Amino acid sequence: MAAKEATKTSTITAVQDEKGMSFGVPITTPPKERVRNEMPSTLQKGSRTPSRLIPYDTALRLGNVPLLFDHLERWSRAPSIPKTPVIASSATILILIVRQVSCGNAHVVALSEDGLLQAWGYNEYGQLGRGFTSEGLQGARILNAYARFLDEAPELVKIIQVSCGEYHTAAVSEDGEVYTWGLGSMGQLGHCSLQSGDKELLPRRVAALDGIVIKDIASGGVHTCAITSSGALYAWGGGQAGQLGLGPQNGLFSCIPNESDMLRNIPALVVPSGVQLVTCGHSHTLISMKDGRLYGWGYNSYGQAANDKSTYAWYPSPVDWCVGEVRRLAAGGGHSAVLTDACTLKELCEFRLAESVTLSNSSQIEDVASRTGSDALARLCERFREYLLDAGDCKWEEREADGDDSE
């Protein structure tokens, strides 16, 4: 199994069986949104509805999953970096056993089994957490200074999870505290004020979350989300595309309660309870609930955040199609992926039927699914027909051949 992170130009994975794989097809992005689009070739589909899923034994480990691995592999489209996976040398990787790895736009952070963070890449916004900015590619270095209190000397903190945004980084300590650093001009660091202009150069504790134990963290392009031990979801940062789930806003923030629609608290409570997993794409967010439901919000031009056809999903919106218990979530610029644990006969049958849905048999499969309680499969058939009709890929004669007696 492999855990990986991908950006627009590079891929890095932590592996156990010395095997790695990459995927990613950059596409032309909208002029007002810098949206990365890493499309898995096995899932690529010209549809706004959720794609058919990959069997568990062939799927990548998705998202920021804490696992133990022996070494790192890296590859990239950059001219100076190999285009096929190679083992990162000991000169690059200082920590011995990598538990987790996360990639930003141009920086990488690895977490060891001992709770140490090591960062390398570009540091123009302080995203490597070294206390200063620098130009050009920076070698690997272990982070050993965390600012728990601004009036005290930085200290070493044991980290249990890390997530890289585009130009910022967020981490969770063993005590459930959140530390952030890097670019913070859109509020993505969660601090009321910044120590170095629009940046934090050292990992700094998010004081607004005092007394709240965080168990999961995820970073998007300019926003960050965190799940508490009680299942609440907090979000902070840029929300122009709806990625915070707080409705339309102009990106201004406040640290005190107020009645203005122009200002938001940092961080803001989005979902009060029941959240199990969270992942952030560049400009959208996806969560799974403890009862198995999925919700998404944010930039939705490719259908990556919600079932509806709007360009922006401003509030948490249900995502219908999901078979089996949700195990992992992942999101890129223009896509989302869900890894489920489908093992019952009914769930496996739903998988097979979903793979064989066509315009001519969708009504029949939908009828069987409805009568057997397979609601997600029934909705998939319905949305599949809606998509084809809206896209103009079928004619009225085909609908009649399908047994449509609505006329």
The per-residue pLDDT string of the chain (407 residues; one tens digit each, 9 = 90 and over) reads 445 454 544 445 444 443 333 333 333 333 333 333 333 333 333 344 444 443 333 333 333 333 333 445 555 555 565 666 666 654 456 666 889 999 999 999 999 999 999 999 999 999 999 999 999 999 999 999 999 999 999 999 999 999 999 999 999 999 999 999 999 999 999 998 899 999 999 999 999 999 999 999 999 999 999 999 999 999 999 999 999 999 987 555 556 555 554 455 689 999 999 999 999 999 999 999 998 889 999 999 988 998 777 899 999 998 876 667 888 999 999 999 888 876 666 666 766 677 777 877 778 777 877 777 777 777 777 777 777 776 654 443 444 455 554 44
Q: Where in the chain is the domain with CATH 2.130.10.30?
A: 2-342
Report pLDDT for 359: 78
- As a whole number of angstroms, the distance between CA 163 and CA 280 comes to 10
* Token pair belonging to 170: 């967020």
Query: Please, what sign has the CA dihedral across residues 87, 100, 43, 373?
Result: positive
Distance of CA 369 to the CA centre of its chain: 31
- As a whole number of angstroms, the distance between CA 145 and CA 132 comes to 12
Contact 297, 315 (CB under 8 A): yes
The tally of CA atoms less than 13 A away on the side-chain side of residue 107 is: 34
Q: Are strands 178-183 and 284-289 parallel, antiparallel or unpaired?
A: unpaired
Nearest alpha-carbon partner for 300 in 290, 292, 310: 310
Architecture of domain 2-342: 7 Propeller (2.130)
For 347, phi then psi, to 5°, come to: -65, -40
Q: Are strands 263-265 and 252-254 parallel, antiparallel or unpaired?
A: parallel
Whether the full predicted model's pTM is greater than 0.85, yes or no, is no
Nearest alpha-carbon partner for 273 in 291, 256, 259, 261: 291
